[in-house]
């Protein structure tokens, strides 16, 4: 079945550094991917919609210069947290829409998430 | 709308009982809804979906009910099992980019 892979699963970085998280669709092409953030015991909050070949669309209140999103190919989107601070520590989850013949256009697959800890 | 950072409500049920998890959505224009299950430290897992032209949809041990009048969604789990313990989220699809927005979620604990 379709799989969305995130890498790394866990990352610890020092305050002030940048960290990149990858989201890959393994057996389908995804022109649209979504990035979510989740704090412990809270819901998933949509951060941005990643569109292949164009700029990402950010949700209100999300700093686009801090959370850089690049969707350079049909199977890969990356989220870079720049100048990370401890308050950026969170669970980051991506999802990808399968718009191929198998998908209905709204078939969404989620990755397993990436834990970011900023120390 | 999107989660506003509230802590998850909780629901505890005895094994074998039925569970009902509720969700309110905000946008009357939303036309597609999905229930997800999330186990600790993992990504959301699809359970069942429903479109706005339906009131009810059944799956294996699960039923989703949609009340568009009051913008309310519910997930019913029959004969709840310990493996059902998880956090359950409803998600609505809306917006020009068909984005998925998640509700607050409910933490379900099944007591053996």
User: Phi and psi (nearest 5°) for A88?
Assistant: -85, -10
- State the best of A44, A59, A97 to mutate against chain B, taking most chain B CBs within 10 Å: A44
| pLDDT (0 to 100) of residue B1 | 29
Please state whether A100 falls in left (phi above 0), alpha (psi between -120 and 50) or beta: beta
| pLDDT (0 to 100) of residue B89 | 95
Which ranges of chain B have pLDDT less than 50?
A: 1-5
Quote the radius of gyration of chain B (alpha carbons, Å): 14
User: Mean pLDDT in chain A?
Assistant: 91
pLDDT in tens, B93-109: 876 667 889 998 999 99
- Contact check, Cβ <8 Å, B102/A45: yes
Q: Report the residue from A4, A45, A97 with minimal CB separation from B2.
A: A45
Tell me if chain A has a CB within 8 Å of the CB of B100. yes
CA-based torsion, B97, B98, B102, B103: positive or negative: positive
- Contact check, Cβ <8 Å, A44/B3: yes
A63 CB neighbour count, 10 Å cutoff: 10
pLDDT in tens, A35-49: 999 998 899 999 999
- What token pair was written down for B28? 């009357």
Report the pLDDT averaged over residues A58-78.
94
- Contact check, Cβ <8 Å, B100/A34: yes
Tell me if chain A has a CB within 8 Å of the CB of B76. no
């Amino acid at each position: 079945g379709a799989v969305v892979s995130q890498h790394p699963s866990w990352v610890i970085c020092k305050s002030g550094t940048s960290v990149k998280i990858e989201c890959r669709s393994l057996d389908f092409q995804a022109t649209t991917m979504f990035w979510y953030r989740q704090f412990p015991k809270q819901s998933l909050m949509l951060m941005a919609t990643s569109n292949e070949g164009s700029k990402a669309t950010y949700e209100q209140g999300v700093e686009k210069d801090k959370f850089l999103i690049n969707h350079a190919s049909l199977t890969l989107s990356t989220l870079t947290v720049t100048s990370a601070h401890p308050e950026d520590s969170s669970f980051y989850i991506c999802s990808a829409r399968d718009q191929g013949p198998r998908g209905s256009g709204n078939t969404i697959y989620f990755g397993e998430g990436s834990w970011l800890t900023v120390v | 709308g999107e989660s506003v950072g509230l802590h998850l409500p909780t629901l505890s049920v005895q094994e074998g009982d039925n569970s009902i998890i509720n969700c309110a959505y905000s946008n009357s224009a939303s036309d597609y809804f999905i229930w997800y299950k999330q186990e600790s430290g993992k990504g959301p897992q699809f359970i069942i979906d429903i479109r706005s032209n339906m009131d009810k949809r059944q799956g294996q041990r699960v039923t989703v009910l949609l009340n568009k009048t009051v913008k309310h969604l519910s997930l019913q789990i029959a004969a709840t099992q310990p493996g059902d313990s998880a956090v359950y989220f409803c998600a609505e699809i809306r917006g020009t980019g068909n984005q998925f927005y998640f509700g607050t979620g409910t933490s379900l604990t099944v007591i053996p």
